[in-house]
Chain A
């Protein structure tokens, strides 16, 4: 989407609101210049002492009050209907960006640090909200005020209008210069503040050394220097704010003096009435205010543009087209319980370039039949996790290597593919919610897809917690399943987290479960118990267990031995003990290790 299309798209989101707001803003500005006219008439009638004039005066005063009340009401509406769209756009964009981020593949997420993404959503969306809200309101306010006010002034006295506008324009220019300087200084100040924070943080983290080496004096003088730079910058800002910025306000007063002096001169020549001078005095205020806002709106506009750019940086990353092709329920059911076939799969990380570009996986072929239990053994760096991330399509793949039944998985949407295959990753991610909610994570839509009436809230997590050997631990928590696990599951140990993630994977059925070294933080005994439980439970489901421990794979139907990205041997445990030296050596080594620990 181009930038202008983007801007237009979100403007159209609230088009009726904006249209109504424009009408309201116009009416407010019209009333604003119209009310002084009635004041003028009333003041002029004050000097005449006839009965008719008294009635006329009363009528004009009533007009002033009535119009003021109307103006208040319409102004409320104008502000609501022009500022609300900013909020609505912000909310819509938040959802849109989140939606996109959720669907962008790993190739995107490895490029962008999540901290940066969060800062875009938190800060840049603010800029966009101001652009679509305050920016819009002030634009039209200024537009109408600056076009209507001079016309009304002109109608009273063209000469006086010209003379009185001069100081305002000069002041506006000075104001603008000051404003620009101020903005540069504000940016500078932020940097100074950041410098200070960084330096302090640095010294605080080295506080032990600083104290032990008695460097307080030196450190203090360093902090003093940075603190002083911040202070100087702050005072520069204060100088401009106190001596430059009020210039428009004072120009307004200056204009009043001018109107009185010059207007008085015209009055004595009977070119003006006293009421007209009063009206002029009111208009002077109406002229100064929008000029003051003019500087602000330029900033809002500039900031908005910058923010839109950075949000577009996210939104311009298209979700791969295949991920948008969702299968219907029938097609999906047809592929249920298929065989996974891997044909000549090789993988090289896109970040590796030139001579380093060694393939992590080399020409792998194997298959997993429905219900089959396959193990992959390999040491660190053998390519185990890469293989897992290829199988679940976390990494972007070339087509023609991995098939589900007869369907190439790169030709189906990732979301569909993952309704068949479930991965339990090495480092499970937990949400700062209760244990029960974490186990149910991802189960909601599964329920929806299978049209089961049972709501997820009623899903019983007890059996799967039992299976993953976690229920014992949970009983010891005072809140049981409702225990909050803290940010990233910080309240749980590594092993508890891993077992929780196993429970999560087992809660709802799927065709193929991949366990990527998931029991590394669990002792051998528990590992065996869990695997046995899983084995018994998942009749009909396929299983792929990846591990560097032979003991985890002993009972598999088939074991692939992976070394440097190549399958160097395959077969059952017994077969491999015969045929593969590497397998046998690993087995013996680990037997010894196990014995020692136990």
Chain B
């Protein structure tokens, strides 16, 4: 039932839950109280009937009845506390797991995100943890309670009268066998239902997306015939499922009364012989339900718990994923502090890079030097390695070959946290928080004053349009900036980069077109950055890069031309070709016409 890895998951969960031991212990202590109350109740019924009702003695009966009421109330409270405390423990553990997972995710290397769709990571944090909170915690709680109670009741029955108890036990095997049989059938049916439902829904989705095609081809009846097929298959499986469900339910509810009949039948002789009292017989009749109903739920509880193990497995995968700086030898940050206080130079020496250490070289023998105050522009088609160069600089990707020296120190030995403050990144796809503009520029850094935020905005020519917005710097951005144009978002990201005070500006210029007024502002901001800062830019516009100190033309990871604008023009090679072709140096396809798509 429980495999070794599952046991490992349980241990891991226990590790998180053990922080809340106190709550859990209170809950667990309630368990014996609840069980005792559960047994005391039928015992009291026996007493009332045998001591008072049968002999017809009224005196003292009210005391017993009052005790019964107390037992009932104690049971209610103990039962509630048991479930509540343990659920609280479980939910707190889930809460902590979620936070810990999230913290881990923030430290995972880019390579993880490259190979894992965001949706998958998201579902680890949401639906998988939901499954643990619901299926596992609740499943285990009720399974534990039910099985202990059932065993206790059975022992109690044996204690009161072993012959009658044996009789009840006799009904067990066939009922268990039946449940097992029906469950197996149901599982087969579920597999069919799931797959036919998935197929049907998938097809439906396609037909709706392609409804124009369906209609233009007059294929309405054709797709309907196919869809009816799926619905029919689903329906047939459902009807069968229904049949098994109904059978299981009816037999479990019916078995109680059948057993009651058997007990009276068998017990009647004993009562007459004086071996079994009437009270015992009635107590048995009233306790039977407590035995059979858990029997029905037993298999489904196990199934729910097993389902949750899949979720555990998913989460475990995240827990064993290597963090980006795991197993790397780094120099201590303190010793680097002085050397990296200001940016002096960055030197690439014969750098090679492959993603995940496999596949073709994305960078091949790349060498260049960037000194403080200089501008470096990267030019080339998509996939030529421009973005990779930037991403290696800020340690998004780490395993390069060759040597990269930042202020003369090997980049791979510097902790990422020490490198990052030197660079300010302006990305193509601007990411905006659902906060106001001020926050999006300062990124919540207390050290950046309101004044500094406005200065930064002014510097990149964004101040004026921000003042034109309702609530100005308090303007709340929605949905990653959907209430703002792409160009305006770019300007915010520029202002952000300036405000963050990084000494090297990394600019990944956007290719998407924006309205001409904003475009003008963006160009002005870029030229200002180029004049005054140390810049590394992936640029798409001639005007942007013309004045760079150094331009690298990349092709398939190799530097094919290197020099300033004039040098490159004189070479009359790739660069000058790009220029004469069009006034715009486009990033995408246009350079190479798609040859036969």
Assess the A235–B285 pair: CB atoms within 8 A: no
Minimum CB–CB distance from A115 to chain B (whole Å) comes to: 9
Assess the A71–B239 pair: CB atoms within 8 A: no
Chain B residue, CB-CB nearest to A214: B420
State which of B117-125, B310-318, B372-380, B528-536 sits at the interface with chain A: B117-125
Within 8 A of B (CB), among A267-306: 267-268, 274, 277-278, 281-282, 285
Assess the B260–A238 pair: CB atoms within 8 A: no
A219-252 vs B, CB cutoff 8 Å, 1 = contact: the mask equals 1100110011001001100110111001000100
B245-273 vs A, CB cutoff 8 Å, 1 = contact: the mask equals 11101110110011011101100100110
A207's contact among B113, B228, B272, by CB below 8 Å, is which?
B113
Assess the B218–A281 pair: CB atoms within 8 A: no
State which of A75-83, A352-360, A551-559, A572-580 sits at the interface with chain B: A75-83
**Counting CB contacts under 8 A, is B385 at the interface?**
no
Of the listed residues B92, B258, B593, the one surrounded by the most CB atoms of chain A closer than 10 A to its CB is B258
Assess the A109–B91 pair: CB atoms within 8 A: no
A431's contact among B210, B216, B268, B417, by CB below 8 Å, is which?
B210
Assess the A238–B84 pair: CB atoms within 8 A: yes
Chain A residue, CB-CB nearest to B480: A202
Assess the A281–B227 pair: CB atoms within 8 A: no
Minimum CB–CB distance from B240 to chain A (whole Å) comes to: 10
**Counting CB contacts under 8 A, is B238 at the interface?**
yes
A494's contact among B200, B261, B421, B597, by CB below 8 Å, is which?
B597
Assess the B250–A235 pair: CB atoms within 8 A: no
**Counting CB contacts under 8 A, is A257 at the interface?**
yes
A268-B56, A442-B222 given; A429·B593 CB < 8 A: no
Assess the A64–B597 pair: CB atoms within 8 A: no
Complex alpha-carbon distance, A241 and B261, angstroms? 35
Complex alpha-carbon distance, A277 and B278, angstroms? 12
**Counting CB contacts under 8 A, is B520 at the interface?**
no
**Counting CB contacts under 8 A, is B52 at the interface?**
yes
B264's contact among A64, A200, A213, by CB below 8 Å, is which?
A64
A102-B207, A268-B58 given; A68·B261 CB < 8 A: yes
B210-241 vs A, CB cutoff 8 Å, 1 = contact: the mask equals 11111111111111110110011011001100
Within 8 A of A (CB), among B413-461: 417, 420-421, 423, 425, 427, 431, 433-434, 443-444
Chain A: interface size category: 35 or more
**Counting CB contacts under 8 A, is A523 at the interface?**
yes
Assess the A61–B110 pair: CB atoms within 8 A: no
**Counting CB contacts under 8 A, is A215 at the interface?**
yes
Complex alpha-carbon distance, A360 and B417, angstroms? 57
State which of B72-80, B342-350, B356-364 sits at the interface with chain A: B72-80
**Counting CB contacts under 8 A, is B389 at the interface?**
no
Complex alpha-carbon distance, A441 and B250, angstroms? 48
A64's contact among B80, B228, B261, B594, by CB below 8 Å, is which?
B261
A522's contact among B61, B95, B253, B597, by CB below 8 Å, is which?
B597
Assess the A72–B209 pair: CB atoms within 8 A: no
State which of B99-107, B164-172, B301-309, B558-566 sits at the interface with chain A: B99-107
B99 partner residues in chain A, CB cutoff 8 A: 220, 223-224, 227
**Counting CB contacts under 8 A, is A405 at the interface?**
no
Minimum CB–CB distance from A554 to chain B (whole Å) comes to: 21
Assess the B224–A278 pair: CB atoms within 8 A: no
Complex alpha-carbon distance, A214 and B253, angstroms? 61
**Counting CB contacts under 8 A, is A342 at the interface?**
no
State which of A156-164, A415-423, A475-483, A540-548 sits at the interface with chain B: A415-423
State which of A2-10, A38-46, A333-341, A457-465 sits at the interface with chain B: A38-46
A206's contact among B95, B201, B257, B431, by CB below 8 Å, is which?
B431
Chain A residue, CB-CB nearest to B228: A95
Assess the A429–B213 pair: CB atoms within 8 A: yes
A285 partner residues in chain B, CB cutoff 8 A: 289
Minimum CB–CB distance from B264 to chain A (whole Å) comes to: 5
Chain A residue, CB-CB nearest to B82: A242
Assess the A523–B595 pair: CB atoms within 8 A: yes
Assess the B271–A46 pair: CB atoms within 8 A: yes
B91 partner residues in chain A, CB cutoff 8 A: 231, 234-235, 238
Complex alpha-carbon distance, A254 and B72, angstroms? 7
Count A-B pairs with CB separation below 8 Å: 338
Assess the B278–A43 pair: CB atoms within 8 A: yes
Minimum CB–CB distance from A152 to chain B (whole Å) comes to: 15
A235 partner residues in chain B, CB cutoff 8 A: 87-88, 91
**Counting CB contacts under 8 A, is A165 at the interface?**
no
Chain B residue, CB-CB nearest to A109: B211
Assess the B208–A101 pair: CB atoms within 8 A: yes
A238 partner residues in chain B, CB cutoff 8 A: 83-84, 87-88, 91
**Counting CB contacts under 8 A, is A566 at the interface?**
no
Minimum CB–CB distance from A121 to chain B (whole Å) comes to: 6
B204's contact among A121, A209, A432, by CB below 8 Å, is which?
A121
B216's contact among A210, A216, A422, A444, by CB below 8 Å, is which?
A422
A394 partner residues in chain B, CB cutoff 8 A: 212, 215-216
Complex alpha-carbon distance, A428 and B217, angstroms? 12
**Counting CB contacts under 8 A, is A118 at the interface?**
yes
Within 8 A of B (CB), among A317-340: none
A444 partner residues in chain B, CB cutoff 8 A: 219, 221-222, 225
Chain B residue, CB-CB nearest to A448: B221
**Counting CB contacts under 8 A, is B286 at the interface?**
yes
A122-B201, A215-B444 given; A205·B480 CB < 8 A: yes
**Counting CB contacts under 8 A, is A208 at the interface?**
yes
Of the listed residues A268, A431, A488, the one surrounded by the most CB atoms of chain B closer than 10 A to its CB is A431
Within 8 A of A (CB), among B130-146: 130, 133
Assess the A257–B118 pair: CB atoms within 8 A: no
State which of A84-92, A174-182, A376-384, A583-591 sits at the interface with chain B: A84-92
Assess the B239–A216 pair: CB atoms within 8 A: no
Assess the A210–B106 pair: CB atoms within 8 A: yes
Within 8 A of B (CB), among A84-127: 84, 87-88, 90-91, 94-95, 98-99, 101-103, 105-106, 109, 114, 117-118, 121-122
Minimum CB–CB distance from B33 to chain A (whole Å) comes to: 15
Complex alpha-carbon distance, A282 and B423, angstroms? 77
Minimum CB–CB distance from A433 to chain B (whole Å) comes to: 9
Assess the A91–B53 pair: CB atoms within 8 A: no
Complex alpha-carbon distance, A477 and B421, angstroms? 50
Assess the B278–A274 pair: CB atoms within 8 A: yes
A200's contact among B122, B421, B443, by CB below 8 Å, is which?
B122
B235's contact among A58, A87, A242, A261, by CB below 8 Å, is which?
A87
**Counting CB contacts under 8 A, is B1 at the interface?**
no
**Counting CB contacts under 8 A, is A260 at the interface?**
yes
B281 partner residues in chain A, CB cutoff 8 A: 43, 46
A231-B91, A442-B219, A442-B222 given; A265·B84 CB < 8 A: no
Of the listed residues B126, B218, B250, B480, the one surrounded by the most CB atoms of chain A closer than 10 A to its CB is B218
Chain A residue, CB-CB nearest to B237: A87
B29-57 vs A, CB cutoff 8 Å, 1 = contact: the mask equals 00000000000010001001100111010
A33-56 vs B, CB cutoff 8 Å, 1 = contact: the mask equals 001000100110011010000100
Q: Which residues of A contact B (CB under 8 A)?
A: 35, 39, 42-43, 46-47, 49, 54, 57-58, 61-62, 64-65, 68-69, 71-73, 75-76, 79-80, 83-84, 87-88, 90-91, 94-95, 98-99, 101-103, 105-106, 109, 114, 117-118, 121-122, 193, 196-197, 200-202, 204-216, 218-220, 223-224, 227-228, 231, 234-235, 238-239, 241-243, 246, 250, 253-254, 256-257, 260-261, 264-265, 267-268, 274, 277-278, 281-282, 285, 392, 394, 414-415, 418-419, 422-423, 425, 428-432, 441-442, 444-446, 487-488, 493-496, 504, 521-523, 526, 597
**4 shortest interchain CB distances as A-B pairs:** A495-B597, A442-B217, A72-B254, A429-B210
Given A87-B242, A209-B425, A254-B69, 13 further pairs, Cβ under 8 A: A39-B260, A61-B268, A76-B250, A94-B227, A95-B224, A118-B201, A196-B126, A274-B278, A418-B216, A418-B218, A429-B209, A431-B206, A441-B217
5 A–B contacts, CB within 8 A, in A order:
A61-B264, A106-B212, A216-B107, A257-B68, A274-B49
